[in-house]
Amino acid sequence: MQSRKERNYESGSGNKRKRGRWENRTSSIKKKRRGMGHSSTVRSDRCVTCTTFNILAPIYKRISEEDQSCRESQYRAYWLTRNKSIIDRLLGDRSSIICLQEVWLGNDELVNMYEKQLGDAGYVSFKLARTNNRGDGLLTAVHRDYFRILNHRELLFNDFGDRVAQLLDVESVVPFWHGQNSSIRQQLLIVNTHLLFPHDSTLCIVRLQQVYKILQYIETYQKEHNLEPMPVILCGDWNGSKRGHVYKFLRSQGFISSYDTVHQYTDSDADAHKWISHRNHRGNICGVDFIWLLNPNKQRKPLRTSWNEAVFGIIKYLLRAASLTETSAFAFLKVDSPGDYITYSGFCQALYQLGLSGHPDGLSSEDTKVLWVQADTDGNGVVDYVEFLRIWNPKCSEQPEEKTVSGTKGSPITGGETQQQQQAFGFDVKDAVLFPPEVERGMWPENYSLSDHAPLTVVFSPVKMPCGGPVC
């Protein structure tokens, strides 16, 4: 006999009760796509929507609390029904961009179902499996009515988690403005990824490295192709909350969390748990699914500077987690130094003891040397207590998101305008919705059965803005 949970699972009844409320929200999004914001100048049908969704691969979905080895992949009727429901929802929302994680790429029937139905609906899709035959991977789909694909790249991290990322370089099919004389190209970069799950605190450096590689690849790609300033959208399951190092690292690079921007949530601890998007296999709930936006009017720190600050942040976090005070942390980093200072060898030993180096996915010797150069500000070969305090209590803000070029709040794009300052195309974030609606209030409904993640959909409105990034 089937349990109540199994009956709800097959019938999808756990989702149907919320359908009315969700459709009200998505209906409002669709209306905004047809006519949002600066309706007098922006084409009324050219707002862009983006959905990110970790659809939970059947090879990972547990269907029995008694037998943890029993997975959904063993029961075709189960995974087929659930994934059909996921596709129905995606096609109903008809987002311009769809980024999926944990797609069961090891199953041809499931892959063909997604590719065919998305293709019939007007999408061009790209898939990328995780390395070492993990069985799942990424799928990114872009609607032909909105974008043409200029380029597609695959990023293989080749690290402990066998994680990967996709980069799509796309251009708007139809201009976002009425005039035909504007020189602003409507091009953007889209990234889809799924970072390593934080099984323990020592893996936080691996996840940070994965994001660093993505941003480094974006910078290299833009330089190699001589690209003009353009918006960058990062989608995916980041396996870390707003209080994590990845979040702070991306904020320090000028990225904004679309959902938090719309709902006016700050980076403070008070707003860290206002919403959730995931209940993991341990039963913990948290917000880990993000759609990040970087506009070309953001003035960013050098990437390596942000990286160094993020690593020092991890070091401080691990020392505090060990209940070390400021003075005790300095003593720990000194190791066996005879004087009141930290030596390079002692610094290396401390990083090893913290689990940040000494393994293939940890800090390299080059990483360690770069960190040391930043810590040893006077270059005398040792770090004294004053220099240590600059690391322990950095004065500069980690989130310089308000530093934009003059006149920066994007204005609607109109053709034929003369500008003295170099202009770029960017986005305003107009709306962002999570499903089911309970997760927007920090609660996970027991009868939600589509996935262990909530899909996030964001509406972007095209705007023109002065260019302020390092590529300008």
Q: What is the pLDDT of residues 69-128, one digit of tens each?
A: 899 999 999 999 999 999 999 999 999 999 999 999 999 999 999 999 999 999 999 999
> With 80 as the cut, is the pLDDT of residue 329 above it?
yes
CA atoms within 13 A on the CB side of 9: 17
How far is 356 from 354, CA to CA, in rounded Å? 6
CA atoms within 13 A on the CB side of 428: 19
Q: What is the pLDDT of residues 378-398, one digit of tens each?
A: 999 999 999 999 989 886 434
> With 90 as the cut, is the pLDDT of residue 13 above it?
no
CA 241 to chain centre: 11
Strands of the sheet containing 164-172, edge to edge, are 147-156, 164-172, 187-194, 232-237, 289-294, 256-257
* The pair of three-digit structure tokens given for residue 268, joined into one six-digit string: 């403070």
* The pair of three-digit structure tokens given for residue 218, joined into one six-digit string: 């974006």
Placement of tokens 């799950």 in the chain: 197
Q: Where are the domains of the chain?
A: 48-297+424-466, 310-392
Q: How confident is the model at residue 297 (pLDDT cuts 50, 70, 90)?
A: confident
Q: What is the pLDDT of residues 449-460, one digit of tens each?
A: 999 999 999 999
Equal fold, 48-297+424-466 vs 310-392: no
Q: In this structure, how many other beta carbons lie within 10 angstroms of the beta carbon of residue 75?
A: 16
More confident residue, 20 or 251: 251
Q: Are 193 and 234 in contact (CB under 8 A)?
A: yes
How far is 269 from 397, CA to CA, in rounded Å? 16
Q: How confident is the model at residue 339 (pLDDT cuts 50, 70, 90)?
A: confident
- Percent pLDDT > 90 in the chain is 67
pTM of the entire structure? 0.86
* The pair of three-digit structure tokens given for residue 194, joined into one six-digit string: 């799924």
- What's residue 336's pLDDT? 79
Q: Considering only 41-45, 98-102, 309-313, 445-449, which range has the smallest mean pLDDT?
A: 41-45
48-297+424-466 CATH, one of 3.30.565.10, 3.40.50.1580, 1.10.8.640, 3.60.10.10:
3.60.10.10
Q: What is the mean pLDDT of the chain?
A: 85
Q: What is the pLDDT of residues 169-197, one digit of tens each?
A: 999 998 776 555 455 678 999 999 999 98
Question: Tell me: domain 310-392, CATH 1.10.238.10, correct?
Answer: yes
How far is 256 from 272, CA to CA, in rounded Å? 14
